[in-house]
């Protein structure tokens, strides 16, 4: 019996071993979704500080999960994380038979965040996906594109990975979505129209998280007049490999291979306007502005046959077209003019309701903020029915811009943007709403509650969109961003400014004070003026004031940073301005007088240096700098030589030594690639008289445009100067007497070496900030430039002996302009992205 029992136990043990051997671990497929994008099968991701990601590995059922790291916890398969530093999350999956598998997720924490402004620029279009809820995109004139994140009501920037050679493509002229696939996004880019082929198509298969590019055989004009007209780019909902694009200067174009190749639709027009024709027509051509498919189906596989194209008056005239609206009934093979109720008008938007009725806006001007008269009609393919009109008065010239519809039949909801209608008062028209297909109208924006109440919302109402899944949700653009209501049917709809995450200011200058100041930085930006930040996460309130102001530059006295001086330019008066504050930006006063050249200087190159309280050196565009010792009561020209005329704006760049206020430095970059050699001048009497640094002449500084060059001082060492001449960097430790060239930086030339015009600059901006603890040099040095063919933002902690890149290819911002380093926090650098406001490293 004992033997039999032992045999049985051995048999049972062998069976258990056999069972264990058959319990095979289950392979894990790692998936990550970053900040509302699409799921990617990957085990690594970069998550910017303040953003979030979902880790969602597979399998989705049949076992159990456990987690560790990056803030994960519990047993849920999907884990949402918002890391503040790089980390590793580990998922453990136990299958039904007990075998365990682990998967590590390497999460890199992005090191860049936006300084808060909120909006600040022109959003030219909003594009909803017609079949997927809350999939919404915004295109801007100079600041790239964004995708809406409904979960946290913020916008996700989609073009931050564009490099400096893509700066011309940072403006999105049109965006198109495939109604059959909500992952596909097409975007045509190019800042200004021309007779050349300069536009580019970007395609994404993951909602804009990454892009591939195709050069196009025509130009675009995202920052030209009429930039809110559209959409110009459309995907055929029935055969999505077919796309049409209405170009500005070369007519209508078609692609049958998802945008890879294009051919002109010569059956409409074969005209490609020449440079002379474009110039004669005013330079900004509107061309074929709108393409619309007449279909209520999708995914049939057969190309949609009926297509409309709206033609602006300028291209209609150049091409000899007889109407502003054309129709094809055979997929674009041939076209016929459509008789319209008004002629010679722009058609900013033409939209199709679910019942096949078209709603068409006509307006005399092209926008932004198009002037009237304006007309709105509905069109059934044969008959035009008038719905609304607006005509100029003694004081107004309203036009029609944005247009959107929802529903069908007699209860069609129509939202109409009344553009160029400035002001907020009872009786004003900004956004008109009809719930009965245009028979009657009510105003839903003017005199309604807005949050924040202080921000404007009228003016450039050139796009209005009704959410296709929620007709109570209506959004409209304006000159500073986006407004939204979610109770449009209310007698008093409430509006919220939807600009969180959308930063489109164009910063021209950044100044940071010494450690311990009452403020963090001074932002000088195009159109919005000069602002003093005391909190990077809140929109600032301290400003020099004024409307339609270019803030050019600011500086502060290092020994007394409560004294700030700022220079700017007023679009309203077409004149330069200067202001000073003695209390850290809380209050401001205008300089009593302006120096020679300041009033007329319209360029963005104007800058100022402040050696001490009440003292400043102002360098206007294309003029000799002047100095004041009495807080602007009077100005005296310096002895710096007059700038030679090279048919390009330029200015001296002036900086004050932070250790010795009697030392001031002036740098002439040459102004253009064809300009004179760069030179540095040195003053030892507070900026009154300057002497040429022969050492800078001997250094053979390259001539480059003002905006691609930089001069900075080490605030912790007298006479330590760092200079970026556009191609490389130089250092002086003897107040500019001698200069040492650094060989690490060099431009990427391509085939432009002969013309000295690089594809990517070797060194365009430089700044010095708080040194690393225990470092061998008294400041951290930051450079925007190119080392071994890699462009980026670089930092050196040892006076330039070694360099570390502190950004990556996802944070290139289509090129970086001005920079400034923080004096309180080591490693913090402020940079201006290309139309992306100010960003800072953590």
- Rounded CA-CA distance 608/527 in Å is 19
| Cβ contact 177:129 at 8 Å | yes
- The tokens describing 629, both together, are 């010792």
- Rounded CA-CA distance 61/563 in Å is 65
Q: How far is CA 438 from the centre of its chain?
A: 36
* Dihedral sign, Cα of residue 371, residue 377, residue 378, residue 380: negative
CA distances from 697 to 671, 679, 718 (A): 16, 6, 22
**Peptide bond preceding 199 in cis form (omega within 30 of 0):** no
- Rounded CA-CA distance 734/669 in Å is 20
Residue 560: other Cβ atoms inside 10 A: 16
- Rounded CA-CA distance 817/809 in Å is 16
- DSSP letter at 704? B
| Cβ contact 475:417 at 8 Å | no
- Rounded CA-CA distance 837/185 in Å is 24
- The tokens describing 477, both together, are 């653009």
**Which pairs with CB-CB distance under 8 Å and at least 24 residues apart come from 540-544?**
540/117, 542/585, 542/586, 543/585, 543/588, 544/568, 544/577, 544/579, 544/581, 544/588
DSSP labels for 176-231? EE-TT-TT-EEEEE-SS--SS---EEEEESSTTSS-EEEE-SS---TTSTTTT---
Task: Give start and end residues of each alpha helix (H) in 558-712.
Answer: 694-698
CA distances from 670 to 30, 711, 775 (A): 54, 14, 35
- DSSP letter at 356? S
| Cβ contact 706:696 at 8 Å | no
Helix (H, G, I), strand (E, B) or coil at 839: strand
Residues facing residue 308 across a β-bridge: 292, 327
- Rounded CA-CA distance 524/481 in Å is 19
Report which of 694, 675, 683, 687 is spatially closest to residue 738, judged by C-alpha positions: 694
Indicate the helix (H) or strand (E) that contains 19: helix 2-22
Report which of 604, 552, 547, 558 is spatially closest to residue 578, judged by C-alpha positions: 552
Angle at the Cα of 331 from the Cα atoms of 329 and 337, rounded to 5 degrees: 45
| Cβ contact 464:361 at 8 Å | no
The torsion region of residue 8 among left (phi > 0), alpha (psi -120 to 50) and beta comes to: alpha
Report which of 459, 578, 561 is spatially closest to residue 514, judged by C-alpha positions: 561
**Peptide bond preceding 231 in cis form (omega within 30 of 0):** yes
- Rounded CA-CA distance 473/467 in Å is 6
- The tokens describing 451, both together, are 């949050």
DSSP labels for 450-509? EESTTS---B----EEEETTEEEEEEEEETTEEEEES-TTSSS--EEE--TT-B--EEEE
Q: How many helices (H) and strands (E) does the chain have?
A: 4, 64
Query: Which residues are identified as catalytic?
Result: 141, 527
- Rounded CA-CA distance 414/420 in Å is 19
Helix (H, G, I), strand (E, B) or coil at 246: strand
Phi and psi of 275, rounded to 5°?
-60, -40
Residues facing residue 213 across a β-bridge: 202
């Amino acid at each position: 019996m004992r033997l039999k029992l032992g045999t049985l136990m051995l048999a049972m043990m062998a069976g258990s071993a056999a069972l264990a051997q058959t319990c095979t671990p289950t392979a894990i497929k790692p998936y990550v979704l970053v900040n509302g994008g699409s799921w990617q099968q990957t085990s690594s991701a970069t998550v910017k500080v303040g953003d979030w990601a979902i880790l969602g590995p597979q399998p989705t059922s049949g076992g159990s999960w456990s987690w560790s790291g990056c803030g994960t916890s519990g047993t849920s398969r999907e884990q949402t994380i918002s890391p503040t530093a790089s980390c590793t999350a580990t998922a453990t999956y136990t299958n039904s038979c007990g075998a365990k598998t682990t998967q590590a997720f390497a999460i890199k924490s992005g090191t860049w965040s936006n300084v808060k402004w909120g909006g600040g620029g022109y959003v030219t279009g909003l594009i909803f996906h017609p079949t997927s809820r809350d999939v919404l995109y915004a295109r801007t004139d100079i600041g790239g594109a964004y995708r809406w994140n409904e979960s946290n009501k913020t916008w996700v920037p989609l073009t931050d990975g564009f490099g400096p050679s893509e700066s011309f493509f940072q403006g999105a002229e049109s965006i198109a979505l495939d109604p059959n696939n909500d992952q596909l996004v097409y975007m045509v880019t190019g800042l200004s129209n021309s007779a050349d082929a300069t536009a580019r198509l970007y395609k994404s298969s993951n909602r804009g998280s990454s892009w591939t590019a195709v050069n196009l055989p025509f130009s675009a004009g995202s920052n030209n007049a009429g930039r809110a007209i559209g959409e110009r780019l459309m995907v055929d909902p029935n055969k999505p490999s077919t796309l049409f694009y209405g170009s500005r200067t070369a007519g209508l174009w078609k692609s049958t291979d998802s945008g890879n190749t294009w051919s002109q639709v010569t059956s409409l027009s074969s005209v490609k306007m020449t440079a002379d024709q474009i110039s004669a027509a005013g330079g900004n051509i509107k061309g074929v502005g709108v393409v619309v498919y007449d279909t209520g189906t999708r995914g049939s596989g057969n190309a949609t046959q009926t297509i409309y194209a709206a033609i602006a008056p300028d291209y209609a005239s150049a091409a000899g077209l007889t109407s502003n609206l054309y129709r094809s009934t055979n997929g674009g093979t041939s076209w016929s003019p459509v008789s319209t109720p008004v002629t010679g008008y722009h058609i900013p938007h033409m939209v199709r309701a679910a019942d096949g009725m078209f709603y068409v806006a006509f307006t005399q001007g092209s926008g932004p903020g198009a002037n009237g008269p304006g007309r709105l009609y509905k069109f059934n393919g044969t008959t035009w029915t008038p719905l609304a009109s607006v005509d100029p008065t003694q004081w107004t010239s309203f036009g029609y811009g944005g247009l959107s519809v929802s529903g069908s039949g007699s209860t069609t909801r129509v939202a109409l943007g009344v553009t160029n209608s400035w002001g907020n008062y009872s009786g004003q028209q900004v956004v008109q709403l009809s719930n009965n297909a245009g028979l009657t109208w009510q105003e839903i924006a003017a005199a309604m509650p807005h949050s924040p109440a202080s921000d404007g919302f009228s003016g450039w109402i050139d796009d209005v969109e009704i959410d296709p899944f929620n007709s109570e949700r209506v959004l409209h653009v304006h000159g500073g961003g986006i407004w939204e209501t979610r109770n449009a049917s209310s007698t008093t709809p409430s509006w919220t400014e939807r600009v969180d995450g959308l930063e489109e200011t164009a910063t021209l200058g950044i100044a940071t004070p010494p450690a311990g100041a009452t403020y963090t930085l001074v932002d000088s930006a195009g159109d919005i003026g000069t602002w003093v930040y005391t909190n990077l996460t809140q929109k600032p309130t301290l400003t020099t004031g004024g409307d339609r102001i270019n803030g050019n530059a600011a500086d502060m006295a290092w020994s007394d940073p409560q004294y700030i001086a700022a220079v700017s330019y007023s679009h309203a008066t077409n004149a330069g301005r200067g202001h000073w504050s003695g209390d850290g930006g809380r209050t401001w006063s205008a300089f009593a007088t302006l120096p020679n050249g300041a009033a007329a200087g319209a360029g963005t190159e104007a800058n100022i240096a402040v050696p001490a309280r009440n003292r400043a050196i102002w360098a206007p565009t294309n003029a000799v700098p002047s100095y004041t010792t009495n807080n602007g009561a009077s100005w005296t020209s310096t002895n710096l030589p007059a700038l030679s005329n090279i048919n390009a704006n330029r200015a001296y760049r002036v900086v004050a030594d932070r250790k010795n206020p009697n030392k001031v430095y002036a740098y002439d970059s040459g102004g253009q690639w064809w300009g004179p050699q760069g030179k540095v001048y040195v003053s030892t009497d507070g900026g009154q008289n300057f002497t040429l640094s022969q050492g800078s002449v001997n250094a053979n500084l390259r001539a480059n445009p003002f905006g691609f060059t930089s001069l900075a001082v080490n605030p912790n060492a007298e006479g330590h100067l760092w200079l970026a001449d556009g191609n490389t960097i130089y250092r002086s430790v003897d107040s500019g007497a001698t200069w040492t060239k650094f060989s690490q930086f060099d431009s990427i030339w391509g085939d432009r070496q002969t013309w000295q015009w690089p594809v990517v600059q070797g060194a365009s901006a430089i700044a010095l900030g708080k040194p690393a603890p225990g470092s061998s040099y008294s400041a951290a040095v930051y450079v925007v430039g190119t080392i071994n063919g890699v462009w980026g933002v670089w930092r050196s902690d040892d006076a330039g002996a070694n360099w570390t890149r502190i950004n990556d290819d996802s944070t290139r911002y289509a090129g970086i302009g001005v920079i400034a380093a923080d004096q309180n926090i080591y490693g913090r650098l402020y940079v201006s992205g290309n139309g992306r406001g100010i960003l800072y490293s953590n």
